[in-house]
Amino acid sequence: MIKRHEKVTIPLEVIESFGMIVGDPVNLEGGSISPIWTKVFNKYDKSSVRLTGGKNVEQVRDLFEEYFINGLSEGACVGQAMSEFSTRYKYIKRERNRLGALFIHLNPGVGKTYSRFGNRFKVSKRNLQDLVSKLSKLGLSDLLFSGKPWLNEVQKHSYLLEISDHYYFFDIIQRYIKNNVLKPVFIGDGSGILSNMLLTSEVDVRDATFIDLQHFLIRQYIVNFDEKSKIQKFIYAQDFDASAIDGRGLTIINQDSFPEIPDESLKSYFELIKHNKVDRVISYNHLDLRGHSNYRQLLVDYFGEPVIRFESIIRSGYFIEIFER
């Protein structure tokens, strides 16, 4: 059963501190927005309410408490389209398959979980119950549930809808990083689910940087507010300048948005690689680049072919790729 989370109140000091620490963007979004997101904004935000300049802290808080951030999205982040029955039905139908795939990823060879005949997942109700229980008990920030996000309830356990895909990517990242320090640059982290998983986990995360459009950036600030000791800075996409990022040994992390970022913005972000500030890029994206930015060619130009590449067990056509010096 799909339902909304109860309202979680965002402390005003969180919004106030964003204004003091990050402030307003210097430049207009302009070329930082891809045609895909232009269509979404034209459909769900014709009045550009996402641009919060001039609003007081109470108004901004109210926007984010009423599911403003995820609500701008049609597909990713389980957005406004969830108000339509057909969309909710689609998520219900595919979520069991995703949970089954995630269980197999986390528990290879357990029981009769996979058939050589027909390539069908065979995950028992008990397996699913155990996994859903695990997902419902992750030590995520309470503020991740602000905005009344959509939940999936299975056998009396509720978890954040679509978290299965984020947890899959998170698990791969933490296994690859192992006991090493991770200095992540989150580009296009959307609703902040993946970053919050990493920041609240046992991974040694330091000096995290967030780069995104205004409304997404505020959302990421809100959900990761309690982990601010691990965060270096938040930067608006339209204001990004590679020279403003300090440090070496950084890791760029991107899930689901590289192909949607305009070419010029991608080239600007990848200046971090050119200036030897980034040693690694971990990508989880679709490889059908028709009509999208060819982020892969840019990464191959800098790194050569990825050291790791495999298709997602959760989403057909999406690949985990790790480029490294």
Domain spans, the chain: 164-324
Environment class of residue 45 by beta-carbon count within 10 Å: exposed (0-12), middle (13-18) or buried (19+)?
A: middle
Is there a contact between 198 and 184 (Cβ–Cβ < 8 Å)?
Answer: yes
Confidence grade of residue 45 (pLDDT, cut at 50, 70, 90): confident
Determine the 3-state secondary structure of 195 from DSSP.
Answer: helix
Mean pLDDT value of segment 198-226: 96
Mean pLDDT value of segment 279-308: 91
Bigger pLDDT: 253 vs 77: 253
Is there a contact between 191 and 167 (Cβ–Cβ < 8 Å)?
Answer: no
Pairs from 140-144 (Cβ < 8 Å, separation ≥ 24): 140/196, 140/197, 140/200, 141/196, 141/200, 141/223, 141/224, 141/225, 141/226, 141/227, 142/8, 143/8, 143/10, 143/14, 143/222, 143/223, 143/225, 143/226, 144/192, 144/193, 144/196, 144/223
Distance CA 247, CA 278 (A): 9
The residue assigned the tokens 């029981």 is 111
pLDDT at 108 over 80: yes
Q: Which residues pair with 158 in a beta bridge?
A: 153
Confidence grade of residue 68 (pLDDT, cut at 50, 70, 90): low
- Worst-scoring range by mean pLDDT, 69-78, 146-155, 199-208? 69-78
Q: Return the structure tokens found at 146.
A: 């602000």
Mean pLDDT value of segment 45-72: 80
Amino acid at 70: N
Q: In degrees rounded to 5, what are phi and psi of residue 241?
A: -145, 120
Q: Note the pTM of the prediction, 2 decimals.
A: 0.92
Is there a contact between 41 and 48 (Cβ–Cβ < 8 Å)?
Answer: yes
Is there a contact between 252 and 272 (Cβ–Cβ < 8 Å)?
Answer: yes
Mean pLDDT value of segment 283-303: 89
Considering the four listed CATH numbers 3.40.50.2000, 3.40.50.150, 3.30.950.10, 3.40.50.300, the one that applies to the domain covering 164-324 is 3.40.50.150
- Worst-scoring range by mean pLDDT, 123-137, 195-209, 273-287, 293-307? 123-137
Distance CA 43, CA 136 (A): 32
Mean pLDDT value of segment 139-146: 94
Helix (H) or strand (E) holding 209: strand 208-212
Q: Which residues pair with 205 in a beta bridge?
A: 182
Average pLDDT of every residue of the chain: 88
pLDDT tens-digit series, residues 178-205: 999 999 999 999 889 999 999 999 999 9
- Highest mean pLDDT of the ranges 50-64, 110-124, 145-159, 245-259: 245-259
Bigger pLDDT: 66 vs 241: 241
- The helix-helix angle for 12-21 and 57-65 (nearest 10°) equals 120
Q: Return the structure tokens found at 303.
A: 């790194």
Helix (H) or strand (E) holding 185: strand 184-187
pLDDT at 25 over 90: yes
What is the CB neighbour count within 10 angstroms for residue 145? 16
Give residue 117's pLDDT: 56
pLDDT at 11 over 90: yes
Count CA within 13 A, CB hemisphere, residue 137: 8
pLDDT at 77 over 80: no
